Amino acid sequence: MTLEILNADCLGSVRHGFFTRRGGASSGIFEGLNCGPGSSDLSDAVAINRTRAATAMGLAPDRMVTLRQIHSAEVLTLDAPPEGRPEADAMVTRVPGLGLGILTADCQPVLFADPEAGVIGAAHAGWRGALGGVLEATLDAMEALGATRASIRAAIGPTISQRAYEVGPEFLDSFMAEDPDYARFFAGGTGDRMVFDLPSFGLHRLREAGIGEAEWIGHCTYSDPARFYSFRRATHAGEADYGRLLSVIRL
């Protein structure tokens, strides 16, 4: 099966891709294009998958960087591939031929570009990272490389949608402590449960930060098991692990 790569209109001609799970070498619960070296999948299968994805992006495998993501607001500025997988949740660069890769399984993969300045970025933004400022930190780091905030475009890739993201009252409390207006990203659920709109929250944070353009490409990871991995869906199914989707941007 060939790889399936989704694109965002707002990123225009900047080379990028949100890969689905289709077209990979993994099997079992990881069936498809699992690109997560932190999973318990066979390392050879993950390496094959990552090589296929890198090739599709016109990159050598060692020029496609992914991180050990820790749900932080830590951003790396890269001029070459780092040693190993450093701990951070976002990267920026102005170096052609260097791919910035984000791994997700419900969290938001966010790809950024200022085409005029020749600066790109990529961020892993789950609820904790988005609330903690990883999106704004990525914009700051891009500006430090010469990007103009009003010229930056950002696309949120496949992520969990509100209808599938049930949370408890303590989750809501974390947001209310930051800004009571964040209540608008929650809707009522069963009993004391609520459902949270992660992509709308990500778009809000980007727009409040003054970005030029931002969009969510509109795919829910939880609701489409044939195309996407989902941590929450795997948990509900009692599976021992889950695959990781890859999103990449490059100059």
Query: Residue 190: what pLDDT?
Result: 84
Domain boundaries, the chain: 5-159+210-249, 162-196
Does residue 91 contact residue 75 with C-beta atoms inside 8 Å? Answer: yes
Q: Which numeric CATH code is attached to 5-159+210-249? A: 3.60.140.10
Q: What's the confidence (pLDDT) of residue 102? A: 98
Which pLDDT does position 39 carry in this prediction? 97
Name the band, by pLDDT with cuts 50, 70 and 90, for residue 91: very high
Q: List, for residues 189-245, the tens digit of each pLDDT value.
A: 888 999 999 999 999 999 999 999 999 999 999 999 999 999 999 999 999 999 999
Give residue-wise pLDDT tens across range 28-81.
999 999 999 999 999 999 999 999 999 999 999 999 999 999 999 999 999 999
pLDDT for the residue numbered 38: 93
- What was the pLDDT predicted at 175? 97
CB 66 within 8 A of CB 88: no
Express each pLDDT in 96-118 by its tens digit: 999 999 999 999 999 999 999 99
Q: For residues 54 and 228, what is the distance between their CA atoms, to the nearest angstrom?
A: 19
DSSP 83: S
Over residues 164-185, the pLDDT tens digits come to 999 999 999 999 999 999 999 9
* Average pLDDT rounded to a whole number, residues 122-144: 98
Question: For residue 190, how many other CB atoms are within 10 A of its CB?
Answer: 8
If you compute the radius of gyration of the chain from its CA atoms, what whole number of angstroms results?
17
CA distances (Å), origin 191, targets 167, 168, 169 = 11, 10, 10
H-state helical runs in 179-222:
198-208
In this structure, which long-range contacts are made by residues 14-17, counting pairs with CB atoms below 8 Å and at least 24 apart in sequence?
14/113, 14/115, 14/120, 14/249, 14/251, 15/57, 15/58, 15/249, 15/250, 15/251, 16/111, 16/113, 16/155, 16/247, 16/248, 16/249, 16/250, 17/53, 17/56, 17/57, 17/247, 17/248
The model scores a pTM over 0.95: yes
